[in-house]
Chain A
Amino acid sequence: ETGVTQSPTHLIKTRGQQVTLRCSSQSGHNTVSWYQQALGQGPQFIFQYYREEENGRGNFPPRFSGLQFPNYSSELNVNALELDDSALYLCASSSIRGFSGSSSYNEQFFGPGTRLTVL
């Protein structure tokens, strides 16, 4: 069973550029969540994807967008980069299983993160 992987590990961009971050979910997981963690802060929820559709979004502008692929891997795209976008971007995978008529979220497993620096 492979864990959650993210690429690249580090990235340096300039203001106004666009960036794509990638995440491969853990085997058997069908849900991917993305978080932004600024230095010294807790992670902030960006959005979540389930079965290739957005399944919840945090307080982030539309220039933050994402995709989930049939193999449940995911991309986070950020357009028009700003200095404040510099952060550690974390991807987490989990699975949703239905039981007793309700959905159940299992434990979230995180990747090592991508450190994005915007100059």
Chain B
Amino acid sequence: KQEVTQIPAALSVPEGENLVLNCSFTDSAIYNLQWFRQDPGKGLTSLLLIQSSQREQTSGRLNASLDKSSGRSTLYIAASQPGDSATYLCASRVDGNNRKLIWGLGTSLAVNP
């Protein structure tokens, strides 16, 4: 059974810092892994999708990596800004007929001006 863990649960940093959010999964047979952003009380915004055959994806100041052998994905945010403050969730899609997303609990990020 796939389990997804995100560390840390919360993070507070000053503006301008580079930071790394971690996502671990127990079953390496994933189909893909997706990173999302969620603002309080709002829906989810997809940030990056990494297919199982890929090692990383980049979008602007965001870079996500995937290491299936170690069961880890990291989301790197460069030059953080107050507007980056949100909860960041990772979700893995496992192989098989039931291709649902398995989610972590998220990392709550606060970037202070």
Contacts and interface: CB of A to CB of B under 8 A. Distances in A.
Given A42-B89, A42-B106, A108 B101 contact: yes
A43 B101 contact: yes
A105 B99 contact: yes
Contacts of A115: 41
A84 interface: no
A110 B100 contact: no
B46 A45 contact: no
Contact of B100 (A42, A56, A113): A56
Interface residues of A, number: 26
Given A110-B45, A112-B43, A113-B42, A33 B105 contact: no
B42 A112 contact: yes
Nearest to B98: A56
Please tell me the size bucket of the interface on B.
20 to 34
Nearest to A111: B43
Given A42-B105, A42-B106, A56-B99, A107 B43 contact: no
Contacts of B41: 88, 115
B97 A56 contact: yes
A108 B91 CA distance: 11
Contacts of B44: 43, 90, 92, 110
A24 interface: no
B75 interface: no
Contacts of B43: 6, 88, 90, 110-113
Interface string B91-109: 1010001111111111000
Contacts of B91: 42-43
Nearest to B89: A42
A111 B91 CA distance: 16
A55 to B, nearest CB: 8
B31 A109 contact: no
Contacts of A44: 103
Nearest to A41: B105
5 contacts: A33-B100, A48-B99, A57-B98, A108-B46, A110-B45
Given A6-B43, A105-B31, A105-B32, 4 more contacts: A43-B101, A48-B99, A90-B43, A108-B34
